[in-house]
């Protein structure tokens, strides 16, 4: 594991953004208590705060999430949407997203979030081909990233924003070791030459790429 940021500085960052409320704190605690082997997949609170801020800044009404797990990032996204906004949450796990459903209810977000249990690529490809999506967050199987990108770009409205998580793969994009590393490294290279978008990669946790559609 490469620590991009000194762990002590990482802790400092966690305590210097808008604090988590009880819903997010309880969700993180329950995820770690019930799913200790998988809980590390959850976005950190500072990344969640970044998602809420980006959704608000883009004025998004329609968002898509690829990789919901127990719901932390989905709550952060849904809370940033304009009144009446909608989030389509994609995952393959009924078990993990059952916890997400509980917390959506507790957060008063049930009417804003639609969960689709299916391989996310099927869900994305079944969406209308028009550019209707304002905001997308991708945080699922890494080998799927190139396909998610290809499915999302045409469906993103001009000025819309996509956020891809784990784009540094603990630093292994410099020297890819497995299929997931290669898929992410290959996509990272492709994004910078894609004339449809502007992008910037941020050293937030395991790396986050912001991709804005031109137009
Ligand atoms: C890193 S976790 C997502 C964490 C989440 N963003 C959060 O903040 O808690 C990845 C999720 O992607 C889901 N996933 C894996 N492969 C998938 C696929 N082909 N389609 C949809 N979801 C998938 C997993 O079930 C898992 O819940």
Instruction: Name the residue ranges covered by the structural domains of the chain.
Output: 7-213
| Probe residue for ligand 1, chosen from 35, 43, 64, 67 as the CB with the greatest number of ligand atoms within 8 Å | 67
- Antiparallel, parallel or unpaired: β 133-138 and 156-165: parallel
Task: Read off φ and ψ for residue 157, nearest 5 degrees.
Answer: -75, 155
* pLDDT > 70 fraction of the chain, expressed in percent and rounded: 99
Express each pLDDT in 96-141 by its tens digit: 999 999 999 999 999 999 999 999 999 999 999 999 999 999 999 9
Cβ-contact 173, 165 below 8 angstroms: no
pLDDT at residue number 3: 72
Q: How far is the CA of 91 from the centre of ligand 1 (A)?
A: 6
pLDDT at residue number 5: 86
| Probe residue for ligand 1, chosen from 68, 104, 123 as the CB with the greatest number of ligand atoms within 8 Å | 68
- Superfamily of domain 7-213, CATH level 4: Vaccinia Virus protein VP39 (3.40.50.150)
Q: Binning pLDDT at 50, 70 and 90, where does residue 2 land? A: low
* pLDDT > 90 fraction of the chain, expressed in percent and rounded: 97
Express each pLDDT in 68-104 by its tens digit: 999 999 999 999 999 999 999 999 999 999 999 999 9
Task: Please tell me the distance from the alpha carbon of residue 26 to that of residue 136, in angstroms, as a whole number.
Answer: 25
pLDDT at residue number 110: 97
Is the pTM for the entire model greater than 0.85? Answer: yes
Express each pLDDT in 13-44 by its tens digit: 999 999 999 999 999 999 999 999 999 999 99
* Residue 71 backbone class (left: φ over 0; alpha: ψ -120 to 50; beta: rest): left
Ligand 1 atom with the smallest distance to the CA of 31 is 9
């Amino acid at each position: 594991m490469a620590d991009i940021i000194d762990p002590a500085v990482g802790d400092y960052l966690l305590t210097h953004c808008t604090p988590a409320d009880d819903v997010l704190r309880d969700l993180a605690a329950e995820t770690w208590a019930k799913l200790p082997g998988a809980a590390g997949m959850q976005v950190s609170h500072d990344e969640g705060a970044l998602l809420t801020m980006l959704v608000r800044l883009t004025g998004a009404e329609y968002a898509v999430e690829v990789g919901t797990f127990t719901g932390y990032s989905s709550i952060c996204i849904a809370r940033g949407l304009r009144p009446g906004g909608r989030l389509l949450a994609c995952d393959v796990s009924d078990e993990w997203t059952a916890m997400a459903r509980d917390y959506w209810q507790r957060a008063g977000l049930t009417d804003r979030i639609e969960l689709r249990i299916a391989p996310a690529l099927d869900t994305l490809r079944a969406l209308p081909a028009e550019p209707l999506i304002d905001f997308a967050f991708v945080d699922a199987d890494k080998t799927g990233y190139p396909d998610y990108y290809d499915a999302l770009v045409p469906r993103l409205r001009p000025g819309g924003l996509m956020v891809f998580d784990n784009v540094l793969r603990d630093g292994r994009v410099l020297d890819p070791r497995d299929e997931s590393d290669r898929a992410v490294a290959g996509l990272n290279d492709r994004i910078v030459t894609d004339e449809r978008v502007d992008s910037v990669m941020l050293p937030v946790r395991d790396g986050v790429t912001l991709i804005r559609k031109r137009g």
